[in-house]
Chain A
Amino acid sequence: MNMRGALTFGACAIATILGASEAAAAEPRTPFPEHAALDAVGGSPAKGAYVLSAQGGWPFSFLRAQVGLSDRITLQSELESAVGRRYRPMLGIGVRLAEATHVRLTGEFLAGWLFQRSEEYRRGPNGELRFRLAIPAGRFVPYLVLGTRHAFLPDLLTIERASGTETSWSVRHEWTPWATLGLGFAISRRIGLDLGINYGWVGAPDTIALPGVHLGLHFGGDR
């Protein structure tokens, strides 16, 4: 999906969601304080609950699974792709740091590996610390994610001399500050959507990065 297409699609999705909200307002139902959309964008589903998320967009797309180990601790795995050339499979835990009627704050730590296939191949371990702030209001869940990612990229240098071959290793550090601002929407307790703006400043501060958008679909269960 190119940038223009993604943005246009995003605008249409907003209109659809807002339109759906008006329809829903005319037909009140029993509230469900915890739902898949909230668990997906706010993190840390309750004990025994799980949520599966697929977020597609430009340049980043995600597959994520979270399952509540206790009422505060979550196990999660995540696969991120950037335009099909950079992948980050990750495994980690989430901790529900604060919970109130209209607020959920989650801290997450993930570790995994980075694979980048481009002019410059990049491979190496990487980790991420991030915080999710969700502010649920009925079916809507505005949310903010702030994170810091660190990848360590080993380089092998080989120098062939008449006297023999010398090899040496060095490691580069790639820092990626991350921010997402989005809006989740609960279609039902088990199914939700979200739309978000992502900014991942890959290689900060020496690079320039473009912002992106994603649209997510979330399924939850065991409640």
Chain B
Amino acid sequence: MKRRFGKATPLALVSALALTALVSLDVGCGTPPRGVDWNGKRLPAIDMHLHPGDWDHVPEDTRKFLASRFPFPIGLDAEAAAKGSLLPESILGEIDDAGIWGAGLFAIYAPRTVGVASNELVAEDLTFAPDRFFGLASLRVDRWTTDRDAELAQLKSTLSRPGFVGIKLAHAHQHFRMDDPAFFPIYEVATSLGKPLYLHTGTSPFPGTSQEPAYTDPTYLETAIQQFPSATFILGHLGYDFEQKRHAGLETCIRLAKTYPNVFLEPSALGSASSDPTGANLKEALRRMREAGITDRVIYGSDGPQSPGFVKGYLERTVAAMKDAGYTEQEAAGVLAGNFARVFGVTVPAEAAE
């Protein structure tokens, strides 16, 4: 049998087309429009929960954990990837790619768990996009007996700097009980300066976390919420159990939000592909909050940047979950940006959704 070389067979063409299709995926289509498409209308979006950082101040075990969360093979050189993704220009690129207008940047002082992203680092990052980045300051609590006054003074000083709009705390990562009155002076600072508090609730996958209920169960915050009615408490992650990948504090968070006007909820991270593989838990959370009539207390956040595309993906998951739960345009607009703007006193410009 004689054959002619070079005659492209259908199989060869299919292979070539498949390869070409892959290449075409990398072809950009320009800057994506800003805002979220909601039944043909664009709604502005703000991601209140993003982490800048300093890889050199992340504990070794946490580095390993973070490396394992990067897609293969990015995690093989996690240091380079993390250093790149934690830079302000990278964060801005991620939110631009997602169509998000504004972002909250968190400082954190948890040297034994997630590491340190100092107030100074956040202050520097805020200057990169001062009209779109909003800083949440934090403080060390691991030497509270001796350093309390100095830490509170530094917190006040940081909150007076341009761009800082709130306070970030994570009892589980910073190893102090939610109901320990020794730390209530932090809430006094929040009250006196009118700065909302963002509080991590629920367990955490990070090595070294205090996973016991007093550090993770939002029930333990109720005393402080009652005692500081003028302070705004934003309960991050809805008390999610990141170890078992299931809701644990959702109903408590909803009860607190319904009972106390100074409680807001933020459903970040719990709906990620690794924490909620089927997407059912994020849908349930958004559905339950709507059924409880507290959509005006829900503030969107992702807990990014984590890995390239995470910020965009989490927003898409959240929007899909809201649509699935029957959110109205007004409710969705509130969750995505309006509630953040109201709580933090931020004006969202018209170009945030166009």
Q: Which residues of A contact B (CB under 8 A)?
A: 3-4, 7-8, 10-11, 14, 17-18, 20-25, 28-29, 31, 59, 82-83, 85-86, 101, 116, 118-120, 135, 137-140, 142, 181-183, 195, 197, 200-203, 206-211, 213
Contact = CB atoms under 8 A, between A and B. Distances in A.
Interface in B19-43: 19-20, 22-23, 26
Interface stretch (B10-18, B181-189, B261-269): B10-18
A210 B3 contact: no
Nearest to A30: B2
Smallest CB-CB A-B distances: 8 pairs? A24-B6, A21-B6, A25-B6, A119-B67, A59-B73, A209-B72, A137-B9, A183-B15
Contacts of B274: 206
B7 interface: yes
B1 interface: yes
A20 B6 CA distance: 7
Contacts of B64: 119-120
A16 to B, nearest CB: 11
Given A83-B77, A210-B73, A195 B19 contact: yes
A23 B26 CA distance: 30
A138 B4 contact: yes
Given A118-B75, A201-B72, 13 more contacts: A4-B26, A8-B26, A10-B22, A14-B16, A24-B5, A101-B1, A120-B64, A142-B12, A197-B18, A207-B71, A209-B71, A209-B73, A210-B72
B71 A183 contact: no
Contacts of B5: 21, 24-25, 28-29, 31, 138-139
Contacts of A195: 19
A10 B19 contact: yes
A211 B66 CA distance: 20
A206 B18 CA distance: 27
Given A118-B76, A181-B18, A202-B72, A8 B11 contact: no
Contacts of A11: 19-20, 23
B63 interface: yes
A207 B68 contact: yes
A124 to B, nearest CB: 16
Nearest to B79: A119
Contact of B12 (A10, A85, A183, A200): A183
Contact of A7 (B23, B68, B78): B23
A182 to B, nearest CB: 7
A59 B73 CA distance: 7
Contact of A213 (B3, B22, B74, B76): B22
Contact of B2 (A31, A201, A208): A31
B68 A120 contact: yes
A201 B72 CA distance: 8
A181 B15 contact: yes
A135 B2 contact: no
Identify the interface centre among A18, A118, A211: most chain B CB within 10 Å of its CB: A118
A137 B76 contact: no
A21 B6 CA distance: 4
Identify the interface centre among B9, B19, B68: most chain A CB within 10 Å of its CB: B19
A83 B73 contact: yes
A18 B19 contact: no
Contact of A119 (B7, B16, B78, B307): B78
A181 B5 CA distance: 22
B273 interface: yes
B19 A140 contact: no
Identify the interface centre among A3, A139, A140: most chain B CB within 10 Å of its CB: A140
A7 to B, nearest CB: 5
Contacts of B23: 7-8, 10-11
